[in-house]
Chains A and B, each alone.
Chain A
Amino acid sequence: MISMANLARYGRICFDATLVLLIVATSANRAAAQGFDRVHNRNGTKFGKITKMNVLGFTLTRGGVETKIPVEEIVSITFAGEPEDLAPARSAATAGRFEDALAKLNRIDRNDIDRVEIAQEIDFLVTLCKAELSLSGQRSLAQAEQEVTRFLSKNGKSFRVPAAIELLGNVLLANRDYDGARVQYAKLGKARAPYFKARSALLTGRSLHAEGKDEAAVAAFDQALQAAEGNVVAESQKLEATLHRAVSQSALGDVQLSTDTVNEIISRADREETQLLAQAYIALGDCYLQAEKNKAALDAFLHVDLLFNSSAAEHARALHELAQLWEAKGQSDRSRDAQQRLIDKYPGSRWAKQ
């Protein structure tokens, strides 16, 4: 799943996303009022005017000085003169409140937009929110595929193109079009930046795992780890790659080592990284299922249900597993409760259909 949190991860190393949002929210209007575009990257905040833009980043000009900002380093952005509903819509999307974000975006009058960058930003956020709703089973995936494709064809020079490509891959993956997803992920790997090399390999590995090709998946994750090695920006991919590598390794039979690895990741993770923790606990649950340790698996999936349930895809999966595990434990009421919540909250999710 790609979300604004993932987008933030493009440029984030050890950064507190909540803090960023607060900073952005309080000072964005001031910057906008002064007529500056405002970009926050891992080194701080830069003001200026976006003078050039392509899929790999943009140039910020201030007082005749040009600064190139690669897309993978961007944590957040505020455009000069952007409508006042745009910033809260971004915040809502970052927090996973996609319906809320869409409502805010729909309030924006497109006739008032005179900058192409802002129009692209609104288009992207709308596409992202709708696709995320599809990924969590609340809309059709076919619809999402069309919408992301349309965004890409309309906005070929937007710095949001890499994120949209990843999004399209995710939609195809959710629809079990593994090869199609990998074609998209491979496009990311064509960029020179180690970050994208690592991201591409990581996403490819995830698609291979989903298809049951775990040996190939492990190789892809190794490739991601290798690409990220020594690069500060790409470093953020390492934890995620390690996590998914452990899951595939577990599927290949090396359960104990994988369990230890996932546990290590959890203990090292930033406590606010709830999405990563949700993924890690899903991985841990998978390892325990492989080892036929149902009690421990139930505990792992319960962590997602009770603590890290803001990540829709992981939560839906956890509810699905919990329904099975409770049933096996003879707790039919709890099983029904999990199943019902899965159906109520994620009706279109593939887990609800199983």
Chain B
Amino acid sequence: MKSLLSSLPSQTAASGTHFTRTFIATRFLLVALVLLVPTLPLRAGQTPLRADWAADYLAALRERGWHDVALEYLDGAAQDPLATPAFLAQLGYQRATTQADLARQAVGDAQRQALLTAAADGFQKFAAEQTDSPRQLQALATAGNLFTEQALYATSKAEKLPEAAHRQRERLQNSARGFLERAQLSLQNLLQQCDNKLKSLPKAAQLQKAALPKNPRGQDPRAQSTRQQLQAKRAEAKFLLAKLDFEKSRTYASDSKARQIALETAAAAFAKLYQDYEEKLVGFYGRLYQARSYQAAGNFEQALECYRDIVDQPPIANQDFRRLVARAYRYRAECHLRVDAPDKAIKECTEWLDASRGSELSEPDWLAVSYRLASAYEAKAASSAGSEVQKLRTEARKLYREIAKIPGEFQRDARAKMTSTISGSDKPAVLKTFDEAFGAGKEALEQMNSAKLAARLAKENNPDSVESLNEQAGAHQVAALQYFQRALQLSDVQTDSEQLVSARYYLCWLYWEDGRPDDAAVIGKFLARRYPESRFAPVAAKLALAAYQQLYNRAKQAGESTDFESQQLAEVAELLAVRWPESPEAAAGLNLLINIALLDDRLSDASQLLERLPPSSRGAAELRLGRALWTRYLNASRNARAGPDDAVMALKRQAGQLLASGYETLQVPSKATSKVTSSEAIGVLYYAQFLLAGGEPLQAVAVLENRSIGPLSLIEEQSSATQSAEFVQMAYRAALRAYVSVEPPEREKARAMMTALESTIGSEDKSQHKLITIYVNLGLELQQQISALTAAGQADKARGVAASFEDLLTRLTRRADSANDWKVQNWVANMNLQLGKGLRGKDAARYYQQAEVAYQTLLSKADQDPKFAPSPIAVLAAKKRLADAQQAQRKYAAAFQQYTSILREKPNMLELQQVVATALQQWGTEQNDAEKIEKSIRGAMPQTNKKNLVWGWLRLASIADQAKRKAEKKAADDPSQARKIATFENLFFQSRYHVAQARFAAAKLATGADRQKQLRSARQSLESMKRLYPKLGGPQWQGAYGKLLEQMEQVQ
């Protein structure tokens, strides 16, 4: 029975915090159940896992805490060539174990619960399928444990809910019961499996004979040990099953019949355990829990009798048993205190602690006895008089001081108790009237404030004393809280109503400061509703609002339902808006609701709430809502392939209106002179970005430079609203864009912005990379702007923007080390190429030429220094762009030579083959060279293997078709093939189109009958495509093919 002795639980007081209780109970179950299952011997033929690389890999992942990767690995482990059959046989078990591990890392409650449930289900499934596995019992035990863990968690949460949250509590309690029932099924199954395995073993008598030294029959001696282990597990499973009933009682209301029945059932089950396992540790634990069941039901006499059976045992040295006895003393003291017999509690606890070893006194079970003893001293002091009172309180304080030193269940309470007896002087704080308690509370508050102030001052004058002053402030705060609590207990109809409201308000504030938002919210809301005329009412409502917001945030982060908190928030905000509509608190309330609506993505609710704000308070909220709508518009338009629809455009309009209105509101003198918040500053910056995106750079400049609220002015003033480096960079970036986009561009200001932007970026590589990324993105935006202006026939404007952009390029090129930086130089070259693409004629030619020179310099450096380029691929990419720049300048021969030099190294690059075919076709068409046109169709430059280096359009079409078919075959099993199918289909129709187009071009160069023949052939080629593929790859190609056909008809 050694495993039983070593695994028995350390349980905490019923009066302890729920969280601690839940945690320890869970831990107990884990320990108990892990030890529950024997290390049953491996069956013959089973491979030990130690030699298994897959198991080692899984263990290494777990060791790093990468359970998410472990889970992904297990999902695909069947494909791991290292996975042995033995490893694969236990995949289900390992997956469930990993899910449980992952659950403990999960941040959100919903995710955590889902993983725990999946893990428990996984263990059960494994146990059902792998009945011969040595891990079967472990799987059942762990499943039971996980269900219990979930039940205890739900119960604990239900107990923490405010009184008014009936529905949520009921839902959680129901859920807890559901989990307990599932745990019960799992443990019953475990019990059954233990019985089955025991039955399959040889009879005990035979085993006994086998164990005799002279036994001649040679039976398996391991079976005896297995039997003992299985019996031990059976006992523990029975104990845990009984404990489930005990835990179930916590899921009912304290005065309900159901709770009573659950406790009676638990008591009966524990009594049976005590009877069945008399004189064994598990039996005594049964007795302890039988007593606890009585105690929880309020039957203290019976409970004390059961505890007596434990404390009356003769002294036993075994430490597990001594812990059990310590617990019995603790619970006996609790019962004595409940029946008003502190003397008995003092006597028993003192005797036990005196008889204990010194090292035991700091163990949790002994600390619990000490705490109860201190409570007993206090209880006795309350009914004593004279010097006895002082003596008893001193004894209590001594104990609290010791308990407060050691982390544990009672540390916090002990600290609080200590302060309640030291406030002001060493005099006992006997408070018998409301006035006394209220006065003591106010005094403690004043002392707290003085200590806080002193601590603030001491930071500069006497830093060593700061810690001690803060401690004093904390102690006075705890004392104040207790005094006001006591004051409320002592209040009656005679109590002055204004003082009562004050006491409640102070308590509300103290709860808030003490990190108890639940309590602060309840009192704050009560005050605001019940005493609306009091000066404390609006501030109490604001505190309630803040407290509910904290509760809302907590629930949201945990992935829990926020219905209750949302409803409470709405009620308090409504109260504020109706009772004190012009107060800043009312606006704060509505603003809070707007924030929450935005967080929940309820934009229309936010919009309605906005209407209720006084116009003068709307600015910030309008900006926030405008930001949310603008972001939504950007996302929607990014995802809309066919361009934004009406609804998306409406979002844009609405965002613009709100941002503009918010901006205007903020500009009114009263607001403009007050401090701009960071949220407002971001809103204004968004407005500037909105204007830029809408092609209004001049207005954007005005917003950015606005003297009172413009982001650039705020940055200059070093306003606290602009402390974030990200904000500053965004502002400079927007300003840079605006300055180069205005007409004429403000190049000086743009240069100043570049300097400012660079000064915000560090000098390390990562920062430099960030700067380049900013410039690259800006470059892309400007390139789009240049293209749009060119397309609109506004060549002058396009040229102006391009000139400003050049400043940016020059600046980058001149940056320290940039000459030796491949990335920077490559980007500069690329931007020149892009600028060329955005412009036309001479304007474009200038940039193409610059790009060509830049790429040639780059490649020449790479040639001289093999380490200059980051990789061979980067060199090939630069060669390709050089060729693009040459092609754009109609330097066909040079471009073709570059393209084919790349092809020699990468002949299978589809994209490059397309580019070369296009280049040949363009070259032939422009120079009226039918031979080159023909080569673009059929390919060129035969190699030693007789295949053409340049494939030409026909081979491209054939390869695209084959690749498409191959992808289609795989598509049934692999959805990612869909993208490939679309790509190859497009390439096929593109290639065939070019074949027809090139043939048409060649035909036009021919004369006489030959011309007619070639034209006919080109036309037939197009018509046969239409016949074979009526859809012609979609609308894009249908249009192109149709247009080409029309051109052919016109020529014929």
Contacts and interface: CB of A to CB of B under 8 A. Distances in A.
B51 interface: yes
B426 interface: no
Contact of B57 (A212, A267, A295, A306): A306
B309 interface: no
Nearest to A211: B872
Contacts of B870: 354
Q: Determine chain A's interface SS by DSSP, over half rule.
A: helix
Contacts of B14: none
Nearest to A298: B69
B73 A299 contact: yes
B532 to A, nearest CB: 50
Given A211-B872, A263-B81, A299 B908 contact: no
A302 B906 CA distance: 30
A266 B82 contact: yes
A212 B61 contact: no
Nearest to B872: A212
A303 B58 CA distance: 10
A176 B69 contact: no
Contacts of B66: 334
Interface string B896-933: 00000000011110000000000000000000000000
A307 B53 contact: yes
Most chain B CB neighbours (cut-off 10 Å) among A267, A295, A303 = A303
List 8 A-B pairs, minimum CB-CB distance, nearest first: A267-B81, A306-B60, A266-B81, A263-B81, A212-B872, A176-B866, A307-B57, A299-B73
Nearest to B979: A292
A177 to B, nearest CB: 8
Contacts of B1040: none
Given A176-B866, A212-B873, A307-B57, A299 B69 contact: yes
A35 interface: no
A296 interface: yes
Contact of A271 (B53, B867, B907): B53
Nearest to B58: A306
A298 B867 CA distance: 28
B589 to A, nearest CB: 36
A267 B78 CA distance: 12
A307 B81 contact: no
B1046 interface: no
Interface in A249-300: 252-253, 263-264, 266-267, 271, 277, 292, 295-296, 298-299
Interface in A160-176: 176
Interface of B: 51, 53, 56-57, 60-61, 64, 66, 69, 72-73, 76, 79, 81-82, 866-867, 870, 872-873, 905-908, 976
A334 B60 CA distance: 15
Contacts of B61: 302, 306
Contacts of A157: none
Given A212-B873, A215-B907, A295-B72, 4 more contacts: A302-B57, A302-B61, A302-B69, A306-B61
Interface string A309-337: 00000000000000000000000001000
Contacts of B73: 299
A272 to B, nearest CB: 10
B908 A307 contact: no
Nearest to B75: A295
A246 to B, nearest CB: 13
Interface string A93-134: 000000000000000000000000000000000000000000
Contacts of A212: 872-873, 905-906
16 contacts: A176-B867, A212-B872, A213-B905, A215-B907, A252-B908, A263-B79, A292-B976, A295-B72, A299-B72, A299-B76, A302-B61, A306-B57, A306-B60, A306-B61, A306-B64, A307-B56
A283 to B, nearest CB: 12
B390 to A, nearest CB: 57
A16 B47 CA distance: 21
Contacts of B69: 298-299, 302
A329 B60 CA distance: 20
Given A267-B81, A267-B82, A303 B57 contact: yes
Contacts of B81: 263-264, 266-267
A126 to B, nearest CB: 28
Contacts of A266: 81-82
A316 B15 CA distance: 56
Nearest to A176: B866
A334 to B, nearest CB: 8
A205 B95 CA distance: 41
A298 B905 CA distance: 29
Contacts of A277: 53
Contacts of B976: 292
Contacts of B905: 212-213
Contacts of B64: 306
A153 B169 CA distance: 86
A177 B865 CA distance: 12
B873 to A, nearest CB: 7
Contacts of A303: 57, 82
Contacts of A307: 53, 56-57, 60
Nearest to A215: B907
A337 to B, nearest CB: 9
B51 A271 contact: yes
A236 B870 CA distance: 35
Contacts of A302: 57, 61, 69
A177 B866 CA distance: 9
Interface string A202-220: 0000000001110100000
Contacts of B53: 271, 277, 307
A252 B910 CA distance: 12
A156 B873 CA distance: 39
Contacts of A296: 76
Contacts of B79: 263
Nearest to A256: B970
A295 B57 CA distance: 16
A213 B906 CA distance: 8
Nearest to A337: B64
A51 B993 CA distance: 77
Contacts of B56: 307
A292 B980 CA distance: 12
B188 to A, nearest CB: 39
A264 B82 CA distance: 10
A137 to B, nearest CB: 14
B193 to A, nearest CB: 35
Nearest to A177: B866
A267 B88 CA distance: 14
B768 to A, nearest CB: 16
Nearest to B976: A292
A113 B60 CA distance: 46
A266 B60 CA distance: 19
B72 A253 contact: no
B59 to A, nearest CB: 9
B588 to A, nearest CB: 35
Contacts of A334: 66
A264 B81 CA distance: 7
A266 B72 CA distance: 20
A155 to B, nearest CB: 30
A253 to B, nearest CB: 6
Nearest to A264: B81
A176 B66 CA distance: 36
A273 B73 CA distance: 22
Given A212-B873, A354-B870, A253 B60 contact: no
Nearest to A291: B976
Contacts of A263: 79, 81
Contacts of A176: 866-867
B908 A253 contact: yes
A300 to B, nearest CB: 10
B939 to A, nearest CB: 18
A277 B82 CA distance: 10
B280 to A, nearest CB: 45
A299 B57 CA distance: 10
B826 to A, nearest CB: 16
